[in-house]
Amino acid sequence: MIERKIYFEKIKPFIDKDIIKVLTGIRRSGKSVMLKLIMKELKKNGVDENQFIYINFENLRNRHLCYADTLNEYILEKTENIQEKFYLFLDEIQEVKEWEKCINSLRTEDKQFDIYITGSNAKLLSGELATYLAGRYVEIEIYPFSFKEFCSIYQNINKNISKEEMFEKYVKLGGMPFLHNLNYEVESSMQYLKDIYSSIILKDITQRNNIRNTELLERIINYIVMNIGNTFSANSISKYFKSENRKVAVDTVLNYIKACENAFLIHKVPRYEIQGKEVLNVSEKYYIADHGIREAILETNERDINQIFENIVYMELLRKGYNIKIGKLNNLEIDFVCTKTNNEKIYIQVAYLLASEDTIKREFLPFEKINDNYPKYVISMDRFDMSRNGIKHLNIIDFLLKD
């Protein structure tokens, strides 16, 4: 079992606390493994495994438990006349109708329950559902492997491989955890990634949102992943279809995009006016949760290397806990304006190679126009340090491997 310390350290302060731990993220990102790691830690600390109740609601054997009242009754029967605290691990709980009522009811019982749930849909905690659990839960999103995690696994397969060779592999295959079971063999890995994509389309998007036009959905997803790192809007996509003599309403595009966001397949990043300090409501950027899935869909990661680098850096910034926006400064653009609640702020530009003076100027110039003292970084594949005027240049591999 792969230790995922970055997430375990986020969960650890809440173990044995009266707060519901909600693990979310794209399908197959490792949420179930995190539940097993928590169980392992509890056992290490002396908790008897008879105090664990683990249910995976995607297992057909548990189909009868996919209703709030049935699940509630089952858990109470299992814990009847037992005084010890019970640890509930409820995997893919979005399959349970009105699950939040069951969880809320269990919290009113005299028994002690420490509750952990996972879900592959962002609507899990939206709207009315969240009101049942308001102030009583903490959400932790689980992402696919970072490059650092990828390296720690891949070195067990090939101890003599260089960081550069591992990065080349990571660029192509991405970070979905199960790939290590396939030894990162390209053909089988690509098939697995295509299967994940099909599963997300079927289970997490079309079925959950009653989408009937799967062909249109996939065309919209293709447009988005082909335009990673570019600003566009739902109206842009609608016009694209119009150019092909196909009428697709802007509202339809918006609904399909939202369904993809809810399945954690894509992330929307708004634009931010740096001088006016306001978020702009038009033309966002989108990034995919795992660039390996993009390779499986389009088979073009190496051809679109600038976009992939930008996607990799974006996901790493998410893992590090940043709130991310696209910076706009007059007619200039900054790839990422990154902030944290402790007032930390950094600016980041991403390029494949700083191969010409024009490229160097394009990447560094926007930072020279920003009148503040927050750190500014240009990240690229180049090994030669091109830092200038207080703007730090970083090699992308070094950036991804540092704590």
Render 304-339 in DSSP notation, one character per residue: THHHHHHHHHHHHHHHTT-EEEEEEETTEEEEEEEE
Assess contact for 107 and 24: CB atoms under 8 A: no
What is the reported pLDDT for 37?
95
Q: What is the DSSP string of 78-120?
A: HTTT--S-EEEEEETGGGSBTHHHHHHHHHTSSS-EEEEEEES
Q: How far apart are CA 315 and CA 100, in angstroms?
A: 30
Which residues lie below 8 Å from residue 77, measured CB to CB, with a gap of 6+?
none
Q: How far apart are CA 265 and CA 25, in angstroms?
A: 9
Tell me the angle at which helices 163-173 and 291-298 cross, rounded to the nearest 10 degrees. 60
148-151: long-range contacts, CB 8 A cutoff, minimum separation 24: 148/400, 148/401, 149/2, 149/4, 149/175, 150/175, 151/401
The side-by-side arrangement of strands in the sheet containing 137-141 is 52-56, 86-91, 113-119, 20-24, 137-141
What is the reported pLDDT for 268?
97
- What are phi and psi for residue 145, nearest 5 degrees? -55, 135
What is the reported pLDDT for 275?
87
Q: How far apart are CA 267 and CA 251, in angstroms?
A: 19
Class of domain 5-141: alpha beta
Assess contact for 107 and 75: CB atoms under 8 A: no
Residue 380 host element (H or E): strand 376-380
Q: Which residues of the chain have a pLDDT value below 70?
A: 127-129
224, 270, 300, 354, 360 from 351: Cα distances, Å: 20, 20, 17, 7, 9
Tell me the angle at which helices 305-319 and 291-298 cross, rounded to the nearest 10 degrees. 150
Enter the tokens of residue 59.
């297992």
Collapsing DSSP to helix, strand or coil, 241 comes out as helix
What is the reported pLDDT for 210?
94
Q: Residue 200, exposed/middle/buried by CB under 10 A (0-12, 13-18, 19+)?
A: buried
Q: Taking the CA atoms of 367, 368, 374 and 375 in sequence, report the sign of the dihedral they define.
A: positive
What is the reported pLDDT for 315?
99
Assess contact for 38 and 52: CB atoms under 8 A: no
User: Which residues make up the CATH 3.40.50.300 domain(s) of the chain?
Assistant: 5-141
Assess contact for 4 and 12: CB atoms under 8 A: no
Collapsing DSSP to helix, strand or coil, 55 comes out as strand
134-157 tens-digit pLDDT: 788 999 999 999 999 999 999 999
Task: Kindly report the pTM of this predicted structure.
Answer: 0.95
Q: What is the DSSP string of 260-307?
A: HHHTTSEEEEEEEETTTTEEEEEEEEEEES-HHHHHHHHS-TTTTHHH
